[in-house]
Amino acid sequence: MPKVLIVDDEESICWGVARVCEKLGHPTRSASSAEAGLREAASWRPDLIVLDVRLPGVDGITAIESFRALLGPVPIVIVTAFGDMATAVRAVQSDAFDYLLKPFGVQDIQAIIERALKRAPRSIEPPPSAGSDLIGASTVMQSLYKRVALAAASEASVLLQGESGSGKELVARAIHRHSARSKGRFVAVNVAALSPSLAESELFGHVDGAFTGATRTRPGLLAQADGGTLFLDEVADIPLPLQVKLLRALEEGAVVPVGGDEPTPTKFRVVAATHQNLSQCVAAGAFRHDLYYRICAFEVAIPPLRQRVEDIPALAAHFMSLAGRSSVRLSEATLDELRSREWPGNVRELRNAIEHACVLSRSGVIYPEHLPPAQRRLDGPMPATSELAAVAARRADELLDDPASEAVVYERLMAEIERPLFERALARYGNECAPAARALGLHRTTLKRKLDELESST
């Protein structure tokens, strides 16, 4: 039976992994440092090594080479609580079989051990450089670093999903920087900001005389990303006709400029981002399903700041140093206030708050009164039309499937939309019907009648 060597200075990990191995019938031995592990490996010749990264003395990743020199291509499973992006990249760079983030479940380690002992060692193509400007060591950020490192090591199209200001562009840049395309350009396009009439020529370029004002041939953004990475921010907002053209460019590896008929070979990697639920946009018919499948080969979810409050002190220190105020410190009350906020604008909102406070604080200490007021959720960006359409489409399906709604589907759905609409309008105008109706573009009596109908239907 294949033998497993566990190298970890945490006794509980050695014990837990040994129980899993025993259950699978593998003899195990444990070592609490890389040096002790190497001595064990030399005499006992294990068939699999489960290796921690942070060890007293030589760290796990550095020790991989020595294990290889001793044992050849034995599978090595790294188990670690990565502190940062650089460690995640080193782990992917090393030719470990796989790696697992601590804390992990029994099933996770069991599945990896079984897989590792069944298959030949696999190596992940290394990204060329480490280093990162993504701040945060929370568990959710560590999982993110692992996804980023894996995305960087592949050529697959990546879809980043995350709320506004959560760091999607920063993640896209990290994927590019650590990828084999890092020598090519990183071209960022905010699709929502493109002028509708010029979007096609901006993206695909145009030939001389293609339209009035096109006096010379101009390559588009896709061509500029040739050999590099095209970052499509707010991808859900690409107009449908351009979605067809983009899909063709991705599938054929060639771009046809506006007014031209000769495709130009163009190979770029797409990293797309959206704060919307793209699969719901597909369900609502606002996004082509074939393009959706083409661009989301690998999904990376970016956690909102409220799910990683433990990163706030480090982020705040980072933004103080970017503002040239590294010597400023936060009072305990300020830290409490920062931790208690909801941050609908995420890291961007935190950055603005810190910059604002740095300007106001003259004493070298930031107190709560130096912070700008917290943004309220409702003040954040409203969902785009396609997002609303997606929700309405789902609700329409539910009502159409519900026998109790037969012949009243329209009435019910409209009532569900009208109720919050009227409530918001009335709240703004102190419950006065006339100005609320004016703002809505309805006659006062129509609004009154509709309110009565809604009232009687509840």
Residues that bind ligand ATP (CB under 6 A): 134-136, 162, 164-170, 233, 275, 315, 318, 347-348, 351
In the bound state with ligand ATP, the residue whose beta carbon lies nearer, of 94 and 229, is: 229
CA distance 337 to 374: 10
The C-alpha angle 165, 168, 174, rounded to 5 degrees, equals: 135
The C-alpha angle 236, 237, 241, rounded to 5 degrees, equals: 105
In the bound state with ligand ATP, the residue whose beta carbon lies nearer, of 379 and 397, is: 379
Query: How would you classify the pairing of strands 229-233 and 269-274?
Result: parallel
SS3 at position 28 = strand
Smallest distance from ligand ATP to CB 336, Å: 21
Smallest distance from ligand ATP to CB 235, Å: 11
Smallest distance from ligand ATP to CB 319, Å: 8
In the bound state with ligand ATP, the residue whose beta carbon lies nearer, of 61 and 174, is: 174
The DSSP annotation for 340-359 comes to H---TTHHHHHHHHHHHHHH
In the bound state with ligand ATP, the residue whose beta carbon lies nearer, of 233 and 337, is: 233
Smallest distance from ligand ATP to CB 173, Å: 8
In the bound state with ligand ATP, the residue whose beta carbon lies nearer, of 20 and 144, is: 144
216 C-beta neighbours (distance < 10 Å), count: 8
Smallest distance from ligand ATP to CB 151, Å: 15
How far CA 373 is from CA of 346, 349, 428, in Å, comes to: 14, 11, 21
Nearest residue to ligand ATP by CB is: 167
| Residue 217 and residue 207 in contact, taking contact as beta carbons nearer than 8 Å | yes
In the bound state with ligand ATP, the residue whose beta carbon lies nearer, of 26 and 275, is: 275
CA distance 185 to 221: 11
373 C-beta neighbours (distance < 10 Å), count: 8
Smallest distance from ligand ATP to CB 74, Å: 36
CB contact set of 69 (below 8 Å; sequence gap of 6+): none
Smallest distance from ligand ATP to CB 186, Å: 13
In the bound state with ligand ATP, the residue whose beta carbon lies nearer, of 59 and 233, is: 233
In the bound state with ligand ATP, the residue whose beta carbon lies nearer, of 143 and 164, is: 164
Backbone angles phi and psi of 50, in degrees to 5: -105, 115
- Helix (H) or strand (E) segment spanning residue 79: strand 76-80
Smallest distance from ligand ATP to CB 169, Å: 3
In the bound state with ligand ATP, the residue whose beta carbon lies nearer, of 94 and 276, is: 276
Smallest distance from ligand ATP to CB 455, Å: 40
CB contact set of 388 (below 8 Å; sequence gap of 6+): none
CB contact set of 70 (below 8 Å; sequence gap of 6+): 38, 41, 42
CA distance 144 to 300: 7
